[in-house]
Every structure is written in structure tokens, then in C-alpha cells.
Amino acid sequence: MQTDGSTTRPPRSPGAVSATLLYARPGIVVTGERFTVGRNSWPVAEITQLWTARGPHDRLALRAVAVSAALIGGVGVLLGFTGGLQRLTAAAYLTLGAVGLLPLLLVLIGDRWRPPSYELWGRLRGTEVLLFSSDNERQFGQVTRALQRAREGVRHGGWAPPVAEAWRPNR
């Protein structure tokens, strides 16, 4: 607490109406008028459509799946051409079946390790624009809801300034 009467924030002028802040985290600000992510900023009134999507899968996981599937397929073709499939035991067939599931296992591990990002897309002046992307589902939901509220505020005529004094009945 400060004892000299000063405040940590500058005083508001009585006639100034500030923008309604709907969401604010480092690098992301949603107000009733603007949506800002990093260095990009868009007027909320110009965003005409919003939709969400999931981003691409992790490239490393996709490459691991492709390489393992190609190697397993190559071994299978090689065994087929050399006649080695007739000489295999039951345990070898079970091992080949288990190894055949390796690409599926890699897909599941890859999606757990690095899941696809959540993407918020919008249409601005007739162009589709990626507005926001995050791998944090909770943050993505909060930003999406804040932007939807901002768009509703623009659609309904803007945000009214807060009432300065509570209404009290005459007695």
C-alpha cells in the first residue's frame, strides 16, 4: 500500500471510454474493437466468419511412420520373393504381425507426444486468414470465446460504457 496518495495506475479521465478487454495474455489481446496476436492485429468488425480446425500432424512422426511402413513392406516382399515365408515358424509369423503394427503404434505415440495444433481461421476482406494457433486446448477455447463475444458486441452495436452510478429508486 502506498502512503503518499499516489496510485500504480494513471487516473481515468471522466470522458474517456476505454476498449472493453475480453482476453489478455502475453502476446494475445482481445478487445471489443481489435484482435491482436503477436505483431498481427485485426479489427473485429472486419472478421466476417470464424471456424476452427486442427493443424497438421507432426512431420517427424509422419516420417517415422512412412519409413517403418516401407521397411516392413520391403521385408515382406523380400521374404515373399525368396520363398522364406514357407520356412517360417509360428512364432516368426506372430513376430511379423506384431512388427506390422509398428506404424500404427508410431501414429498413436506421435499424436500423444506432439498433438496437432488447434487453429482459429477467419475471413477478412474475402480472404481466409489463420488468426490464431495453439497446442493448448484451454487457451485456444478462451481466445475463441473472447473473439466470438467481441464479434457479438460489434454485431449488436458495440460495447456500452459501464454505468457510473448505480440506480436507486426515489424515496
Q: What is the pLDDT along the chain (171 residues), one digit of tens a residue?
A: 445 554 444 444 444 344 688 899 999 999 988 999 999 999 999 998 899 888 877 777 777 777 777 877 787 777 777 777 677 777 877 787 777 777 777 777 776 777 788 999 999 988 999 999 998 899 999 999 999 999 988 887 766 655 556 666 777
Cβ burial of 142 (10 Å; 0-12, 13-18, 19+) is middle
**How far is 84 from 90, CA to CA, in rounded Å?**
13
**How far is 43 from 16, CA to CA, in rounded Å?**
20
Report the predicted TM-score, pTM, of the whole model to 2 decimal places.
0.58
CA atoms within 13 Å, Cβ hemisphere of 102:
16
